[in-house]
Amino acid sequence: MRDTLTLRRPDDWHLHLRDGAMLRAVLPETTRHFARAIVMPNLVPPVVTGADAAAYRARIMAALPEGTDFTPLMTLYLTEETDPEDVAAAHASGLVTAVKLYPAGATTNSASGVRDFDRVRGVLEKMAEIGLPLCVHGEVTDPAVDIFDRESVFIDRVLDPVRRATPGLRVIMEHITTANGVEYVRAHDRDLGATITTHHLIINRNHILVGGIKPHYYCLPVAKREEHRLALRAAATSGDARFFLGTDSAPHIDPLKESACGCAGCFTATNTLSILAHVFEQEQALDHLEAFTSLNGPAFYRLPPNEARTTLSKGDAVSYPGKIDTDDGPVTVFDPGFALHWRVT
């Protein structure tokens, strides 16, 4: 039985670092294990322009622990007012790696997102022309659509029409949670990839709702039925280059999670690699872990994989903190519900 594993150093292709005290507290949890991360722009106010992204990048660099080798890959938050020329300039200078599309109201801090897709056509056409990828939060916000159907309806109503209308646009379906998402990606071999989170490989909707409500398992898109979790596990562990890791590690302080109207987000930066090794071993796919964490993402983003290596070894149960302290309050670390034996050495 295998008990060590050496990989190219992983990257996280979907991460929330926040700002201020939260940024300072959670950044080391990511930089300990990841060389690069696609940094989500849903701050308050959002990171909309190239100038916003430059300033946010500087704040991240200033918060990096001494001697840390980490590259934040910046994104712009797409609004109906986004200027295609500002986006193109931010891309040309190397400042931004992707643009993020939030349907207005779909998730945390998405109020400035897109309502009318016709109004962002010019930006999307410019992005297709210059090869700048679009990261998509794929859920409709129509109140008539059940929350568990919002991803599959989005694919039919929005994603497929937008892709057809914008040939050459490179799209990442972020944090897919359904077999429908997996199938849509599998059916298209050009210009389409998907990130999968760590927690969606572990929990289904029962984990959130059975035996008392578990706010720390609540995230968006919300975890679906077991059959969907199994489809995600099959996709992630398959080695298929279109699927790669985006943890969507999304810290909120405990009082905002454990509330009458709790925030969405699971904080998984701390133990993600141990959980993933566990999942890939269960699926007898440890040979595909490197593709998922370290190779497929760079290939999609047309970046070289990292030269540095990370070694995981299997042994006694790994101990990790149940909470991370921040100057704003505690953040609970995702509990997979079982002991972890793979540690990063």
Site string (63-92) toward ligand NCD, x via CB under 6 A: ------------------------------
Q: Does 281 engage in binding with Zn ion (CB under 5 A)?
A: no
CB atoms within 10 A of CB 94: 8
Which is closer to Zn ion, CB of 191 or CB of 248?
248
User: What is the C-alpha to C-alpha distance for residues 94 and 73, in angstroms, rounded to an integer?
Assistant: 9
The packing angle between helices 179-186 and 226-237, to 10°, is 40
Site string (225-254) toward Zn ion, x via CB under 5 A: -----------------------x------
Q: Does 224 engage in binding with ligand NCD (CB under 6 A)?
A: no
- Sign of the torsion angle spanned by Cα atoms 187, 180, 149, 221: negative
Q: Does 248 engage in binding with ligand NCD (CB under 6 A)?
A: yes
How many residues bind ligand NCD (CB under 6 A)? The answer is 11
Q: Does 250 engage in binding with ligand NCD (CB under 6 A)?
A: yes
Residue from 138, 193, 265, 336 that binds ligand NCD (CB under 6 A)?
Answer: 265
H-assigned helices in 190-266: 205-209, 226-237, 254-257
Residue 238 interacts with which of Zn ion, ligand NCD, none, CB < 5 to 8 Å by class: none
Residue from 42, 166, 178, 195 that binds ligand NCD (CB under 6 A)?
Answer: 42
Q: Does 108 engage in binding with ligand NCD (CB under 6 A)?
A: yes
Least CB distance to Zn ion at residue 198 (A) = 12
User: What is the C-alpha to C-alpha distance for residues 60 and 20, in angstroms, rounded to an integer?
Assistant: 9
DSSP characters over 161-228: HHHHHSTT--EEETT--SHHHHHHHHT--SSEEEEE-SGGGT--HHHHHTTS--GGG--SSPP--HHH
Q: How far apart are the first and last CA of the chain?
A: 18
Which is closer to ligand NCD, CB of 264 or CB of 340?
264
Which is closer to ligand NCD, CB of 113 or CB of 305?
113
Residue 100 interacts with which of Zn ion, ligand NCD, none, CB < 5 to 8 Å by class: none
Least CB distance to Zn ion at residue 241 (A) = 22
Return the structure tokens found at 94. 């190397």
Residue from 137, 199, 216, 257 that binds ligand NCD (CB under 6 A)?
Answer: 137
Find where tokens 């950044």 sit. 27
Active site residue 248: yes
Beta strand 323-326 with 192-196 is: unpaired
* SS3 (DSSP) at 119: helix
Please pick, among 248, 287, 316, 335, the residue that the annotation labels catalytic. Answer: 248
Q: Which of 265, 191, 253, 179 is nearest to 221 (CA)?
A: 265
CB atoms within 10 A of CB 153: 18
Phi and psi torsions of 135, nearest 5°: -90, 125
Residue from 26, 63, 182, 219 that binds ligand NCD (CB under 6 A)?
Answer: 219
> Mind telling me the catalytic residues?
248
Binding residues (CB under 6 A) for ligand NCD: these are: 16, 42, 107-108, 137, 219-220, 248, 250, 264-265
Binding residues (CB under 5 A) for Zn ion: these are: 248
